Amino acid sequence: MREPLKKKNTNGYRLVHGENDGLPGLVIDRYAETLVIKLYTPAWIPHLQDICSALTSFKHLILRLSRSLNKQTKYLHGLTDGMTLTLQTPESLILFKENGFTFECDPINGQKTGFFLDQRENRERVKKISKGKTVLNVFSYTGGFSIYAADGGAKEIVSVDFSTPAIQATLRNIEHNKHLPDVKAAKFETITKDAFEVLAEMKENNRKFDIVILDPPMFAQNQSQIETALSAYRKLTQLGLNALKPNGILVQASCSSRVDADSFFDAVHRSAIEAGRPLQEIERTGHALDHPMTFKEGAYLKCLFAIAP
């Protein structure tokens, strides 16, 4: 299933996608010669040695534990979050390839397993529409969308994230790809601040872009937070549209599995109509091929590409 990625100069991808690959509670992500094994249930701990034995062709194996599992110390038998399961200790920052770009990931301190691999194909879509454009990348994390936009010919890219380490990684990722002419030529700006505050300031300063990317973290951790999450998506849509030029492109995503696709897309559209800018859809997208969906409830990633008049 993942074989096509090799032809795209990619060695960063999800090797095992939990329930969707028939292995509930187990995720394995590849970053070059390092694998990050993330467990969401203690049921896998008796089988951890067998898992490692099956992965001996890789240089480094790192264990990550979900927040809930990390608290269940009586089941861990001395295992700790972030420990190395192989003899050699990997570098703290790992470089890997995605569609020919070089990115770094911090598998121990970074979000998820160090990088948002599931947005790979959406990043490629952004690259294709970025030529000559100005781009605002909100919740930019380590700058994945920003690098793709630059290589697509964007003339200016602003990356916004609350996390200082994420913004520092963005700057390093830019340097990792400066050998690419369009990345070298692009003007980059980074802002380390709350995304909602930045978008409000953009409105006050009447600063607008050709493309606005909104890729927030999970807004709904459980069923009781769905309405709050939908409200946050609506607010984010309106703030994003305030920073979008007429006939610009809005790219808005949700990774909240509790919020179904219909509810998410409906919330975005309703908010745009209320803002007086009804959206003209380009396409709706979902998961990258290394994040297969084999049951309805497993579909967490939704993304909308649309023109706002």
Asked whether 65 and 39 are in contact (CB, 8 A), the reply is yes
Assess contact for 215 and 263: CB atoms under 8 A. Answer: no
Tokens (6 digits) for 133: 């454009």
Do 63 and 70 touch, CB atoms closer than 8 A? no
* E strand segments, the chain: 12-17, 26-31, 34-39, 60-65, 94-98, 101-105, 134-138, 156-161, 187-192, 209-214, 244-254, 280-285, 302-308
**Secondary structure of the chain: what % helix, strand, coil (to 5)?**
35, 25, 35
Instruction: Report how far apart, in Å, the C-alpha atoms of 1 and of each of 14, 21, 23, 56, 302 are.
Output: 11, 11, 16, 21, 21
CB atoms within 10 A of CB 294: 11
pLDDT score, position 222: 81
Q: State how far the Cα of 69 lies from the Cα of 279, in Å rounded to an integer.
A: 42
Cα-atom radius of gyration of the chain, to the nearest Å? 20
**How far is residue 134's CA from residue 132's CA, in Å, rounded to a whole number?**
7
According to DSSP, the residues that pair with 12 across neighbouring strands are 31
| Neighbouring residues of 8: CB distance < 8 A, sequence distance ≥ 6 | 99, 100
Which element (helix H / strand E) includes 51? helix 48-53
**Which long-range contacts does 149-152 make (Cβ < 8 Å, 24+ apart)?**
149/186, 149/211, 150/174, 150/177, 150/180, 150/182, 150/183, 150/186, 150/188, 151/101, 151/127, 151/177, 151/180, 151/182, 151/183, 152/126, 152/127, 152/128, 152/182
The closest of 261, 280, 295, 5 to 121, measured between CA atoms, is 5
- pLDDT for position 261: 94
Profile the chain (309 residues) by mean pLDDT over runs of 10 residues. 93 97 97 97 96 95 95 93 90 94 94 92 98 98 98 98 97 98 98 98 97 93 88 97 98 94 97 98 96 92 97
User: Buried b / exposed e across 175-195, counting CB within 10 Å, b at 16+?
Assistant: ebbeebebbeebebebbbeeb
Q: Which residues contact 163 (CB under 8 A, 6 or more apart)?
A: 141, 192
pLDDT at position 220: 76
Q: What is the CATH number of domain 116-308?
A: 3.40.50.150
**Catalytic option among 52, 105, 255, 303:** 255
Same fold for the pair 3-95 and 116-308: no
Domain boundaries, the chain: 3-95, 116-308
pLDDT of residue 297: 86
CA–CA–CA angle 292, 113, 264 (5° rounding): 50
Please state the pTM of the whole predicted model: 0.96
| Residue 255 annotated in active site | yes
Class of domain 3-95: alpha beta
Strand partners, 135: 157, 211
Beta bridge partners of 84: 62
**What is the distance, to the nearest Å, from the Cα of residue 95 to the centroid of all Cα atoms in its chain?**
17
Distance of CA 261 to the CA centre of its chain: 17
